[in-house]
Structure 1
Amino acid sequence: MEKKIINPWTWQDARSYVQAVEVKHVESTLYVSGQTAIDEHGISSAENMRTQLEITLKNLEKVIQQADFDLSNIVRLNIYTTDSEALFNNFDVFQAWISQHKIKQTSTVLEVPKLFETLQVEMEATVV
């Protein structure tokens, strides 16, 4: 597999994403459903955004690792949130996770009116 990062600018670097990722000679692709702060019993978290973000990332990590994919090969990570301001006030959690796993992904952040029950953030990924 070959990955090429395309960044015509540098401003996105501070926001922990890239403009495009070209991937060639892929053996397999994993499409991960939206992961949230739901525990192993299917109970939605009612915690604050920071805690939900931490749980969501752990759940995303668990699914990807169980599929025997490497987190560094996430090429797309979309984020849905009911509160953009709260998300960006806690964005350091996301950025630390991205940095820790050496991920260079494309991303879109979308504010939505509601997620399931008490959830505030959801992430879906594509991994090669």
Structure 2
Amino acid sequence: MEKQIINPWKWQDERSYAQAIEVKKPEGTLYVSGQTAINNDGKSSTGDMKFQLIESIKNLETVIEKAGYECKNIVRLNIYTTSSDEFFSCFDVFQNWITKHNIKQASTLLEVKSLFETLKVELEVTVVK
């Protein structure tokens, strides 16, 4: 796989995303459904945004690893949240995770009216290998 980051500017760097990612000759592409803070028994979290973001990241990592892919190869990440303000209050959790895995991804953040049951954040990705 060949991956090229396209960033005509520098300002997006501090926000932990890229303007575009070009992928050539991938061996595979994994489209991951939105991952949330739902436990192994299928129960939705009632925790705060930070807790739910941490749990959503853990669930996302589990799916990616079970499929034989690596987080560093996430090329698209959409974030759905019921509160942008709450999400940005714990943005360091997200940025630390991005840095830990050296992820360079195109991203979109969307504030939505609601998510399933008591959920506050959902992470949807595309991963290549």
Q: Same fold (TM over 0.5)?
A: yes
Which residue in 2 is equivalent to 1:97?
97
Which residue in 2 is equivalent to 1:120?
120
Which residue in 1 is equivalent to 2:53?
53
* TM-score for both structures, normalised by structure 1: 0.99
CA distance in 1, matches of 2:20, 2:45: 33
* TM-score for both structures, normalised by structure 2: 0.99
Which residue in 2 is equivalent to 1:35?
35
Instruction: Report the residue type matching 1:34 in the other structure.
Output: G
Deviation at 1:70, TM superposition (A): 1.0
Instruction: Report the residue type matching 2:34 in the other structure.
Output: G
Which residue in 1 is equivalent to 2:109?
109
Deviation at 1:50, TM superposition (A): 0.3
Instruction: Report the residue type matching 1:125 in the other structure.
Output: V
* Percent of residue pairs identical: 64
Instruction: Report the residue type matching 1:76 in the other structure.
Output: R
CA distance in 1, matches of 2:26, 2:54: 30
Structure 1 residues not aligned, in runs of 5+: none
CA distance in 2, matches of 1:18, 1:61: 20
CA distance in 2, matches of 1:118, 1:82: 10
Which residue in 1 is equivalent to 2:63?
63
Runs of 4+ in 1 over 4 A off after TM superposition: none
Which residue in 2 is equivalent to 1:20?
20
